[in-house]
Amino acid sequence: MQPNTIIHIINTPKANNYLYAASKAAIIQMTHHLTADLVKDNININAIAPGFFLSKLTKYIVNEQEAQFDKKMVPKERLGQTEDIADAAIYLSSQASSWMTGHTLVLDGGVIANSGYGEF
């Protein structure tokens, strides 16, 4: 039977923003603890942690030209698109992820995995 699904969206905090980072870490911990409580009710809980995405909110921060930023920061050499988050949410809501619960998918083009430094 396909489980019910809860998906938390947790933005990846920038460096030196300690309070914001702590609040996001709290949501990740909440995801873990709710999983332990709700898995017996056939409810899967996962989270999506997107990196920097071009969106209505971020268009005020960078314009299209500035989006051609230093590609060394993102190994995939592009900013995230809304479709990337949508595809992850579809996956987490599908039968394909029915055995996955209590996890956070980081969608940042490889920034965290590669510490965001150096050339790739």
SS3 13: coil
20 is catalytic: yes
Helix H or strand E encompassing 41: none
Q: Which is the catalytic residue, given 18, 20, 91, 117?
A: 20
CA neighbor of 84 nearest in space, from 108, 118, 60, 68: 108
Chain centroid, CA 50 distance in Å: 3
Residues forming the active site: 20
